[in-house]
Chains A and B, each alone.
Chain A
Amino acid sequence: MSQYRLNYLEQLEAESIHIFREVAAQFERPALLFSGGKDSITMVHLAKKAFAPGKIPFPLVHIDTGHNFPEALEFRDWLANEVGATLIARKVEDTIKQRNLTEPKGKFPSRNWLQTYTLLDTIEEFKFDCCIGGARRDEEKARAKERIFSVRDEFGQWNPKLQRPELWNIYNGRIHKGENVRVFPISNWTELDIWNYIRAEKIDLPSIYFAHEREVVEHEGQLVAMSEYVRLDADDVVIKKQVRYRTVGDMTCTAAVESTASTLDDVINEIISTKISERGETRIDDKVTEAAMEDRKKNGYF
């Protein structure tokens, strides 16, 4: 009987592919929100498998904060070309100008919060009725309670108390005009699942996920990449360290970890032995308040 047995990665893959196909069938104008990180790269891989030998039937949308790692942008362009997907990039910079928004202040000015404006404008521009996101439920408390099909009102807001029951593998994507649905096909994956899948499927990743030498500034125990966006104080010391990234977001809100892991096996071993969760270690913006994510989701964040 053992030949009819799926291991846990195959089960997760089957579930995610099922979700991608529901999206393609239920929505008229879906889009995959592509951040450049390993989770969205994994999603592109899953989407490719879901529709093979056809092409992915929706565009990849990148909300570019202007604070991205150049390696991640380069990889984004390569990947879109590789899978033959349409790439739509919209810049937070432009939204700031058009809408006369106030640039974030502080030492590490993060445009993470401002992404929401650009995202909602992009949804409006292309009339997307569904945005596929790479959020995982293990990342954070608010996400643990969100459905795989998560309905947003016309302001992009999530209402945790009015979620639709989600039973079996049946996904209800019916919406009113102006609403849209955020769909999270890798909800049930953990960070380690993603890494193990990347290894099993030999998925390419941007180089910054592996150990490399980089100029960093130490800030409250976290290492932040030196870049033109960081505002240094007089007593800051820029040091060279061997680092890698566990998540790839903005250069200003993603911290690096000291590491010598240069292969996937090394990275996975490090993750298994690490005692700090992914968001806790590398997301500078989540620490501000305990309910930071809950608030941002309610306001239209991914």
Chain B
Amino acid sequence: MDLLRFITAGSVDDGKSTLIGRLLYDSKNILIDQLEQLEKSTKNRADGEIDLALLTDGLRAEREQGITIDVAYRYFTTPKRKFIIADAPGHVQYTRNMITGASNANLIIILIDARLGVIEQTRRHSIIASLLKIPHVVVAINKMDLVGYSQDLYNNIVIDYADVAKSLGLKDITYIPISALNGDNIVDKSEKINWYDGKALLQHLEEVEVNTDVNLNNSRFQVQYVIRPQTEELHDYRGYAGKVISGIYKTGDKVTVLPAGIETSISKLEVGGKEVEEVFAPQSVTIQLADDIDISRGDSIVKSTDIPQTNNEVEVLMCWLDDKPLQTGNKYYLQHNSRLVRSVVRNIEYKLDVNTLQKEAVEGNVKLNEVVKATIKTASPLVFDSYQHISGNGSAILVDETSNSTVAAVLFAPNP
């Protein structure tokens, strides 16, 4: 059994919460007491119907206002897979939340209201999916019950969306006509949509191949923590603990420590304290090296045959996440996995309209939810790849030095 992380993009009006509620409910992942609570909540509503959307509304503050303020995570399991849903609101002011929720997703479900077809919001969600390079896209054309399960209408939407997908370079797109409200094509195939010969949504989620999403070709590792027990029997032990970002490492591999550029080789590999011959992404491992080298948190260990870029200047695409706008000239901490360096944002070239992909001139400061192309200069060098190439080694956050808030999501070298 493996794991699939996905994000649902759409607003309440698209039936996003109903869809998630339906997935949990029909796959029997809602339990009696949760259902009781749901019925209790429903009693306070005028229409009296059980509202599946209520299952996903979290905080009282939200329920009172009928809104979703943040990313919530849901879990469900079928005999084939464990699923983690990042449930993020999709309105324009929530680009920040969508990026947060999408950053770890293998798959995105883009909801389209069959009555409306491809709209601005659909484009926005698709653009974010393409920027973050989410490997799999499901276009769920919802509310088919409200358009008489019309095949023609469905086909037209598919044609329209294919244009969007092509212009964005989205790959692996699956179209599914559904009614979240009635459960059509969610867990089981719907008889009302007999002209559709694909899988029901859940079956697709269970079977989509995600293991190939892991990059096993380029070996990247960053030191998180140095393990030095300094006990009598482990007097000289020095293990570099961290996560294999991508690729495979084997005992004996010739490696280079960056940014110092020192060559050595792997003498021992461990996972959870047990010695192994090889390790691979996304394992958390401990590496021991043949030579005694001064290595600290944030340094990279890569195979000497395949070296990433080392530079203290990097072109980035950056989404601003904070209410307080970017102050040009201010220093920000840049956190690239475990490497923390001071940085400054320079040369803001243009702003990207996330609804149209149009490049626009930037007037004034970069504000919340804006996506800009810029250059970041760092106080000490970064060891990185382009986000397109190795997303795990091509992403970072900016942290405000005075408020300590996470203020920007950064993608390195957007145009390789």
Contact = CB atoms under 8 A, between A and B. Distances in A.
Interface of A: 1, 4-8, 10-15, 17-18, 21-22, 24-25, 48-55, 137-138, 141-142, 144-145, 151, 160-161, 163-170, 172, 174-176, 187-188, 190, 192-193, 274-277, 280-281, 290-291, 294
Nearest to B323: A162
Contacts of A142: 58-59
A295 B299 CA distance: 42
A54 B225 CA distance: 12
Given A25-B297, A170-B397, A18 B33 contact: no
Interface string B269-285: 01011000000101110
Give me the 7 closest cross-chain CB pairs, A-B, nearest first: A52-B273, A280-B33, A49-B272, A17-B284, A54-B229, A8-B3, A174-B404
Contact of B1 (A4, A7, A164, A165): A7
5 contacts: A7-B2, A8-B1, A18-B224, A21-B284, A291-B60
B60 A21 contact: no
A77 B272 CA distance: 23
Nearest to B35: A275
Contacts of A290: 37, 40-41, 60
Interface string B228-270: 1100001001010111000010000000000000000000001
Interface in B184-235: 211, 214, 216, 224-225, 227-229, 234
Given A22-B224, A25-B224, A4 B216 contact: yes
Interface of B: 1-3, 31-34, 37, 40-41, 57-61, 69-75, 77, 81-82, 84, 96-97, 99-100, 103-104, 211, 214, 216, 224-225, 227-229, 234, 237, 239, 241-243, 248, 270, 272-273, 280, 282-284, 286, 297, 321, 333, 335-338, 391-392, 395-397, 399, 404-406, 409
Contacts of B391: 168
Given A8-B82, A160-B69, 4 more contacts: A6-B283, A22-B225, A141-B58, A144-B58
Contacts of B96: 165
A138 to B, nearest CB: 5
B282 A6 contact: yes
Given A25-B224, A166-B100, A4 B280 contact: yes
